[in-house]
Amino acid sequence: MLARIASLRSSSPSHGTAKLCRSCLCRHLSTKTHYDETVVYKYASQKIKPVSIGQLLKYRRLPLSAENILDSVSYSQAELPVRLAKRVISFHRLPFIVGTNPHISQVYNRYYEAFDRLHAFAPINDLHSEWEFSRTLEHQTQLLIDVIPEIAQGFLECKQYMPREERTAFINDLIRSRIGLRVIGEQHVALSFQFRDEQKAAEQRPDQHAAKSSSTDDVWVGTIHTKLMPARMMEQCAQLVQNMCEMHYGTAPGYYVDGDINETVSYVPSHFEYITCELLKNAFRATVDFSNKSGRSSHPPIQITITKGEGYVGVRIRDQGGGISKQNMRNVFEYSWSSVQETDSADDNGSTGQSMAGMSLQTNLALQQGLGGPIAGLGFGLPMARLYAEYFGGSLDIVSMEGYGCDVFLRLRSIEGSVEDKQI
């Protein structure tokens, strides 16, 4: 086995060797039977049936009916196992030594479990079965939320065994697929809970509920908020990141929100929150680090400007954190690259080492799960934020003035109206 690993390190596998590696990897990864593997390949061979945003929004008129929920679960039950099976097969195609990494293998097992649980349900045609499926779907979706830290650690440990382009392609596909799985799965789960909440409210106050439902539309359609206020969300996210910065460094810059602060947009709040928190963490961290480096007595505030265009919302985050060098600008959207790692490795005096010092790789990855992560992470924040922004037709760009600071421009398309024909 050691000789086998050594040969993999020293040379790229031939075509025939690659086939052998994938076969060995398939046997190593799967703890299931040959029959179960056959089922996975059968589902993976099916074509994905995209759903448009307009279809996800078609239940915006309340109240929801049993027919609506059964229609929604029918698509989820048919589509999600196919997408999960394709992810399982993508792990089989990794080089042997990469696929056997314990972190990557653990992510594989989560996808296999999710597929195994969801495809086992018989066709659903009643609300009781739908509820059982929805609770299972909710559980499996939660298990897949935290796969990125595991994947990050796995590829950091194995990056010498795969070309950068192949690693990037695999991670991009995994994240895009993960977003689609979550949008479809969480949308149905949210609709299922929403339907039962409405039924309960109707039983308790039938007259009031009927009057409310007939006079107004609820702002929530599953996980989509049709009147999200970006300024309010930015206030909440900035406060959260400021508190994190204060806890981590013992100091934090102020911030203010200006521009079109009363505008609304139709979007998925959790996506908006993830993107903006990642951008704000970079701005707050850079500002404090540059103040320490330059000897500034106080931190300049972070400026957050909201703009509203035709069918989109724009967010500019401006900091005075010293900017990004021309050399590093080429790397900011690369996975596993971090300006903190660059700074820490270049600083022999340890002046900025406080950001990561005393924390193992495992600790940093564990802390990076969700929004409560470290003030600076492991190089997955920016590329993931850009993927999230682009998923619904948006964009993320950075303009750096080295020695001064950065302007980050986030443009998000309004889900309702402007991208209803977008398919996921």
Cα separation values, 312 from 51, 62, 225, 259, 266, Å: 21, 25, 15, 14, 9
The verdict on residue 342 lying in a domain is yes
The verdict on residue 320 lying in a domain is yes
Give the position of tokens 């300006």.
339
Shared domain for 18 and 137, answered yes or no, is yes
Q: How would residue 411 be classed by pLDDT, with cut points 50, 70 and 90?
A: very high
pLDDT at 399 over 80: yes
Q: What average pLDDT does the segment 62-84 reach?
A: 92
Instruction: Kindly report which listed range (38-52, 284-298, 335-349) carries the lowest average pLDDT score.
Output: 335-349
Q: Which of 308, 99, 288, 61 is nearest to 191 (CA)?
A: 61
The verdict on residue 264 lying in a domain is yes
Q: What average pLDDT does the segment 7-23 reach?
A: 41
The verdict on residue 421 lying in a domain is no
| pTM metric for this prediction | 0.80
Pairing of strands 405-413, 312-319: antiparallel
State the DSSP code for 377: -
pLDDT at 73 over 70: yes
Shared domain for 236 and 329, answered yes or no, is yes
Instruction: Kindly report which listed range (81-85, 194-198, 294-298) carries the lowest average pLDDT score.
Output: 194-198
The pLDDT value given to residue 53: 84
The verdict on residue 420 lying in a domain is no
Last residue of a domain, one of 152, 187, 215: 215
Could you give the number of structural domains in the chain?
Answer: 2
Shared domain for 194 and 240, answered yes or no, is no
The pLDDT value given to residue 333: 86
The pLDDT value given to residue 150: 87
The verdict on residue 56 lying in a domain is yes
Shared domain for 103 and 149, answered yes or no, is yes
Last residue of a domain, one of 193, 215, 237: 215
Shared domain for 151 and 209, answered yes or no, is yes
The pLDDT value given to residue 93: 93
Shared domain for 228 and 272, answered yes or no, is yes
Shared domain for 187 and 241, answered yes or no, is no
Q: In whole angstroms, give the CA distance from residue 281 to residue 371.
A: 10
Structural domain span for residue 284? 224-413
The verdict on residue 184 lying in a domain is yes
Q: In whole angstroms, give the CA distance from residue 117 to residue 36.
A: 12
Shared domain for 228 and 205, answered yes or no, is no
